[in-house]
Amino acid sequence: MTGADCAIELLGESALLLRFGNAIDRALNDRVHAAAVALRAAALPGVEDIAPAYASLLLRFDPRSWPDIEAFARAVRAALAQPRAVRSDDQPVGTAVAELPVCYGGEHGPDLAEVAALTRLTQDQVIARHVAGDYRVAMLGFAPGFAYLLGLDAALAVPRLTSPRLRVPAGSVAIGGAQTGVYPSVLPGGWRLIGRTPLRLFDAARPAPARLTPGLRVRFRAIDTATFTALSEHDA
């Protein structure tokens, strides 16, 4: 099935997957988030979750509200067909910006020197380019609260580690391929660590556990170790 320039797949009896493409691309991800906004605004009954990914959107719903899945798919297509619901030339969804302070290099960014060598930049240039980026949370995945960010300077793209670490500290800011992200908790991982934020990005006890949410814009701000320590104590 198709609708609003996306393919709609049935996933069992309680989910639909809307596919807008198959690439990691900011314009494509903009369409995914625009679709999510349109479907939230439509407030279709029984919808339990709307989960954006890079190029697709998962809709979970209560099958008791929609015993006819085809009828639900038609309702979804109708919502996406509303004027300007999903346009490839739309501006990025959302204007809210989350600023993350980051202490780059040293014990907090053990791979910064290697990233600099791989990119043929100085460490200061790597930091400057990373801080200059205008990022957007494309999706959450891998682990609760792990935000995949679009907007990395192409010059900073580096391969993942050959042997992943078994333990990456919470708050670690990393680069993996053409992506950058922040580890929300202590996790294994193979991305290259260039810094660390003292902010707690995921806390299951909070009403909204994840600090970074899909569609949110993100900017990084370089800080020194003293500021890192002070902010760590404040955000504990």
DSSP label at residue 91:
P
Q: Is 138 helix (H, G, I), strand (E, B) or coil?
A: strand
pLDDT at 91 over 80: no
Range of the domain at 71: 2-80
Domain final position from 17, 48, 80: 80
| Residue 101 half-sphere exposure toward CB, CA atoms < 13 A | 15
pLDDT at 84 over 70: no
Domain final position from 80, 107, 139: 80
Chain segment 105-137, per-residue pLDDT in tens = 999 999 999 999 999 999 999 999 999 999 999
Contact (CB, 8 A) for 214 and 33: yes
Q: Which residues of 162-201 are buried (b: 16+ CB within 10 A; e: fewer)?
A: eeebeebebbbbbbbeebbbbbbbebebebbbbbbbbbbb
Domain tally, the chain: 2
Q: Tell me: do 115 and 224 sit in the same domain.
A: yes
The CATH number of the domain holding residue 45 is 3.30.1360.40
**Is position 44 within any domain?**
yes
Beta-carbon count within 10 A of 20 CB: 24
When pLDDT is cut at 50, 70 and 90, the band that residue 3 belongs to is very low
Beta-carbon count within 10 A of 38 CB: 19
Q: Is 208 helix (H, G, I), strand (E, B) or coil?
A: coil
DSSP label at residue 78:
H
Q: Tell me: do 113 and 218 sit in the same domain.
A: yes
Distance, CA of 47 to CA of 60 (rounded, Å): 6
Q: Tell me: do 31 and 135 sit in the same domain.
A: no
Structure tokens at 16: 């639909």
Domain final position from 21, 51, 80: 80
Q: Tell me: do 205 and 128 sit in the same domain.
A: yes
The CATH number of the domain holding residue 212 is 2.40.100.10
Chain segment 146-194, per-residue pLDDT in tens = 999 999 999 999 999 999 999 999 999 999 999 999 999 999 999 999 9
Measured at the alpha carbon of residue 218, what is the angle toward residues 109 and 152, in degrees to the nearest 5? 60
**Is position 140 within any domain?**
yes
- 3-state helix/strand/coil string of 149-168: EECCCHHHCECCCCCCEEEE
**Amino acid identity, position 220:** F
Pinpoint the alpha helices (H) of the chain: 26-42, 69-80, 112-119, 123-132, 225-234
